[in-house]
Amino acid sequence: MAGSAILDSLVIGAGQAGLSASYHLTRLGISHVVLDANEAPGGAWQHRWDALTMRDVHGVAEPPGSAPPPLTLARANEAIPAYFAAYEAEHALPIERPVRVDRVDDEGGDSAASGILTVHAGERSWRTRTIVNATGTWTQPFIPHYPGASEFRGEQFHTVAYPGPEHFRGKRTLVVGGGASAVQFLGAIAPLTETLWVTRREPVWRTDDFTPEAGAAAVALVEERVAAGLPPMSVVSVTGLALREQEREAERLGAYGDRRPMFDRLEADGVRWSDGSFERVDAIIWATGFRPAIAHLAPLSLRSPAGGIQLDRAGRGTGAVVDERVQLVGYGPSASTIGANRAGRTAATGVRRALAALVA
């Protein structure tokens, strides 16, 4: 055991959602520890590609009790980790790293919400009354399976391994995906080489201003899914796509105008379309998103028959409906920088409520 004392709460993950949760738990006087799988502060930001600057990110909402980082040409994978490190130090957050959690067990056995939770990480373990899961999605990249994938002789990269635009200079590149990352990748590499864009669905472009009302409506769609116990979709997937100034050159070159539906199969030198035609490509970027990193929670049986984890307050909260000891931040409607901040406060309140119920 990492300690014989039973914690009131334990936060898994020290990205923005985890930092926000720890900040609010501290303010409520709730004893806790934060376990972070990374060797240094910064969450998933420290693993992003070197060419991504602070100007390119969709804004980083400041954690509670701090000012936002400036939007500059500094590398995001350096600037944001430094920003988070300073925040951790300023607020003396109780973070241990590197600690990769393997699983969470319930000592109460078959009686949900009645026992102590044990968090395992290799040979170490912690006992806690509640947990806040803030593991995000970065460690669970999703690449759909297509026939012939093993036959393709060109290069394939998921977003997590994107090497930067210069790598693709002169290489005919296929970008797969209908989200913001795909739009950014096309914007970066279209001026350097020939590109193709494929998506499963017709892209939805946003032509109006993204008002607070539009944002709230988008989040509501995600909340409906988690309230029903369905697997969450990202908030970005329901907000629509928009081009920024740095993507206008790619637009002028036609990178976004000739979107094609998904191919049927991969072949050694390219892709085969449903009409039998063939397209040669040298490289593929799979901007196909991520799945929640929640495998370590499997022993708690939190998933609903629909495949997702149902959250309280009709999907607007962070508590797992089947076990009030478990809070999830960075999941469903809180899977955004602004949402993560709000979720941290909601989760801390949920922890306080669960602790009161356990001693009642």
Q: What is the DSSP annotation of 21-74?
A: HHHHHHHTT--EEEE-SSSSSSGGGGGS-TT-BTTTSS--PPPTTSPPPP--SS
111 pLDDT higher than 50: no
Angle separating helix axes 16-27 and 337-359, nearest 10 degrees: 40
Q: How many helices (H) and strands (E) does the chain have?
A: 6, 17
- Domain ranges, ordered by start, for the chain: 9-139+290-359, 155-205+241-286
**More confidently predicted of 211 and 267:** 267
Q: Tell me the per-residue pLDDT of 143-171, one tens digit each, with 9 for 90 and over.
A: 999 999 999 999 999 999 999 999 999 99
Q: Tell me the per-residue pLDDT of 253-272, one tens digit each, with 9 for 90 and over.
A: 999 998 999 999 999 999 99
Q: What mean pLDDT do residues 111-120 have?
A: 76
What pLDDT score does 244 carry?
A: 83
**More confidently predicted of 235 and 284:** 284
Same fold, 9-139+290-359 and 155-205+241-286: yes
- Provide CATH code, domain 155-205+241-286: 3.50.50.60
Q: How far apart are CA 157 and CA 159, in angstroms?
A: 6
Pairing state of beta strands 32-35 and 95-96? parallel
Q: Give, in order, the Cα–Cα distances in Å from 262 to each of 133, 159, 181, 220, 268.
A: 35, 18, 17, 29, 17
Q: Tell me the per-residue pLDDT of 292-314, one tens digit each, with 9 for 90 and over.
A: 999 999 999 999 988 899 988 76
The confidence band for 280, taking pLDDT boundaries of 50, 70 and 90, is very high
Measured torsion, CA atoms of residues 13, 17, 20, 25, in degrees rounded to the nearest 10: -60
341 pLDDT higher than 80: no
Type of residue found at 354: A
- Selecting from 3.40.605.10, 3.30.450.20, 1.10.10.350, 3.50.50.60, what CATH number does the domain 9-139+290-359 have? 3.50.50.60
The confidence band for 81, taking pLDDT boundaries of 50, 70 and 90, is very high
> Which residue in this structure is represented by tokens 């209908």?
178
DSSP character string of 209-261: ---HHHHHHHHHHHHHHHHTTPPP--SGGGT-B---GGGHHHHHTTTTTS-EE
DSSP character string of 78-97: HHHHHHHHHHHHHTT--EE-
Mean of the per-residue pLDDT values for the chain? 88
Q: Tell me the per-residue pLDDT of 40-79, one tens digit each, with 9 for 90 and over.
A: 999 999 999 888 888 777 656 678 888 877 777 789 899 9
> Which residue in this structure is represented by tokens 């076990």?
323
